Amino acid sequence: MIKDETHAPPGERLRSLLCVDDNPGSLKLVELFMLHRPDIRLLTAVNGKSGLEIAWVSRPEVIVTDINLPDMSGFKVLESLRADPATTRIPVIALSANSLPLNVESGLESGFFRYLTKPIQFKEFLATLDLALAHAEKNSTKDQLRKRAGQQ
């Protein structure tokens, strides 16, 4: 589902966040959080398959995925994103009720940008999102430098 009611403030670029979660409550909460961020367009998906399809088509700057999705795990979503050159550098944030340190360690070791535990905390979520956006921006700059260097 794509909600496009956002407007980037003048001079700022509109960026996209894809949130993959089958829990309507979690999606609603992220939607409410994003009311504070008019510079972000929120895309949502309720399962891994549609999440991947949206990611491949829309190339969001940041992806947040639940770990326990109905059709595949968040780890599988991450693996599929990393396997595709078009999405391999997108920061992916895990969002899960599995909050043991062991879960967090294995999530980060697998390649998630950050591992957030539920219940979602407003400040933590937005701070992590900002870090991920900054990371995406840095990657994008590097890609542009690489392209330019390749052309020379």
Partner 1 sequence: MTEELKNERAPDLFTVKRGTDANSALQRNTGEDDFPGDFAKLKLTVIRPVFEAVGNGLTESGHQINIAEEPGGKISIHILPPGVSKSIHPYDWFPTLSFFGAPFTKTIGLHGRNARRNSDGGSGERGVYKLPQVSKELVEKELKKFVGEIANW
Which positions lie near partner 1, rule CB under 8 A?
Answer: 91-92, 100-102, 104-105, 108-109, 111-113, 135, 142, 145-146, 149, 152
Smaller CB separation from partner 1, 27 or 116: 116
Cα 40 from chain centroid?
12
Give the shortest CB-39-to-partner 1 separation in angstroms: 23
φ and ψ at residue 73, rounded to 5 degrees: -85, 160
The widest CA-to-CA distance across the chain, in whole angstroms, is 51
Rounded to an integer, what distance in angstroms lies between the CA atom of residue 136 and that of residue 71?
A: 27
Cα 105 from chain centroid?
19
Give the shortest CB-38-to-partner 1 separation in angstroms: 27
Give the shortest CB-5-to-partner 1 separation in angstroms: 31
Give the shortest CB-74-to-partner 1 separation in angstroms: 14
* One-character DSSP codes across 29-76: HHHHHHTT-TTEEEEEESSHHHHHHHHHHH--SEEEEESB-SSSBHHH
Smaller CB separation from partner 1, 83 or 100: 100
Smaller CB separation from partner 1, 46 or 91: 91
Smaller CB separation from partner 1, 7 or 59: 59
